[in-house]
Amino acid sequence: MFNGLTDKTLDRRLKFLWYVRACGADNASMYKLYCHYNDIQELYEDTEYDKGVKLSDITLRNLTDKRLDDHFELYKLCMVLGMGLVCYEDEHFPKKLKKIKRPPLLLFYKGKYADFDKMLCAGMVGTRSMTDYGKKTAEYLAEGLAGCGVCVVSGLAKGIDGTCQRAAVNCGGFTVGVLGNSIDTIYPKENAALFNKLYSHGLVISEYWPGCKTNKYSFPERNRIIAGLSDFLIVVEAPANSGALLTATAAKAQGKPVYVPPMPLTVENAGTTALLRGGAKMISSVSGILEEYDSVLPHTIPPDAPLPSLKGDEGEEELPSYTTSAARREYAYNFVLEELDSNGPETLLQLLSKTKQFTLKDLIKAVTALEMDGFVKKKAGGYYDSVPEDKVPRTLLKDNNK
């Protein structure tokens, strides 16, 4: 017995760790080989892996090393970091993911693990370079869905993804962030406070173990998981080459409905326009999506508020109506990081001159917390600058919202 697990469960998880680490992240042949056994114990005990599946010499050598000591150490590290692990043969592994073409064999998570098969889940994705109207629409839809008890699934990325998840958790809803990097890495750093919220009130998952090296191709890989966990997908705003379109392609391949809100015919929305031409459904309200799912919702569907106006107000945009004091701090963190990334180093007074949303007190709290967490560095003359992405600590942050 270890950490409340039976010896059989622990042994099974260690052997899955052995297998995925032997194959390496993003190995397209990993699931194919597993399917020849459908039992990790049988795969572990085999010595010949000539099953018609193409494996590299390195993978074959790794599979011959049956030692589990290093994998047990990694498992213990996960426990120390407050992370959980669920493998393909565990009873509570999502059945939704077993239905996709190439499911992950291991999921690492931090937060409140959920029974995805008993929840209505909405995938919400979009561009990192969102317009003001896209941001307002994302907040409107995410808040409305979360308020009806729908789990919002997205990628915790900058732009539409983070906006949807921030709106969902700030109004008391449940949201799941699917990472394209290792579970112990906070990326992008602008969403550090949002990560911490999900650790406490939502869930963060990844198929990449702590310390696992990933690359730019790992992010498209996670799209199949976002689509797999979702019962339907909403693409809020996407240009022609947006990664959100890959998630839409995965959802369509899995037979999931894809929805698009009304957007202006601009370059920023060329991707969503193409989705409509390809069979996606136009939606103009939350109730318009949920009316066919009302029998599985924990709450009744409230009357819809009007969609955000396409004509934006002059000047700086107001914070959303549901913004709490903790959410306000998070918005201040995001403002400081984005401003310093783009224009830093800057003084507090220079930062203050560029915003009408936040007071000097808000900004002092933000730079102090970000400096303590290793995201901002104070320089001579009262200047602050952001820390380069590759220099940001890979440790998990304390909860900035307390």
- For the stretch 183-194, pLDDT in tens is 999 988 888 889
Distance separating alpha carbons of residues 34 and 36, to the nearest angstrom: 5
State pLDDT tens for residues 47-90. 888 888 988 999 999 999 999 999 999 999 999 999 999 999 99
pLDDT score of 331 more than 90: no
State pLDDT tens for residues 209-242. 999 988 888 888 999 999 999 999 999 999 888 8
Lowest mean pLDDT among 155-164, 197-206, 309-318, 344-353: 309-318
In this structure, how many other beta carbons lie within 10 angstroms of the beta carbon of residue 130? Answer: 22
Q: What are phi and psi of 160, to 5 degrees?
A: -60, -45
As a dihedral over the C-alpha atoms of residue 234, residue 239, residue 241, residue 245, rounded to 10 degrees, the angle is 10
- The answer to whether residues 150 and 290 touch, using CB atoms and an 8 Å cutoff, is yes
Q: What are phi and psi of 217, to 5 degrees?
A: -80, -15
Q: How far apart are the first and last CA of the chain?
A: 35
pLDDT of residue 286: 85
Which residues sit opposite 177 in a β-bridge? 154, 204
pLDDT of residue 399: 36
Which residues sit opposite 123 in a β-bridge? 153, 233
- State if pTM tops 0.75: yes
Q: Starting at the earlier edge strand, list the strands of the sheet with 84-87.
A: 84-87, 106-111, 203-206, 175-178, 151-154, 121-125, 232-235, 258-260, 281-282
DSSP state at residue 319: P
Residue 154's pLDDT band (boundaries 50, 70, 90)? very high
In this structure, how many other beta carbons lie within 10 angstroms of the beta carbon of residue 154? Answer: 29
Q: Which residue has the higher pLDDT, 175 or 271?
A: 175
Domains of the chain by range and CATH?
1-80 (no CATH), 116-296 (3.40.50.450), 325-391 (1.10.10.10)
Residue 383's pLDDT band (boundaries 50, 70, 90)? confident
pLDDT of residue 216: 82
Distance separating alpha carbons of residues 147 and 51, to the nearest angstrom: 49
The percentage of residues in the chain with a pLDDT greater than 90, rounded to a whole number, is 50
Residue type, 263: M
Two tokens at 205? 């998952």
Beta strands in 220-369 (DSSP E): 232-235, 258-260, 281-282, 346-347
pLDDT of residue 317: 57
pLDDT of residue 401: 35
DSSP state at residue 349: H
- The answer to whether residues 107 and 206 touch, using CB atoms and an 8 Å cutoff, is yes
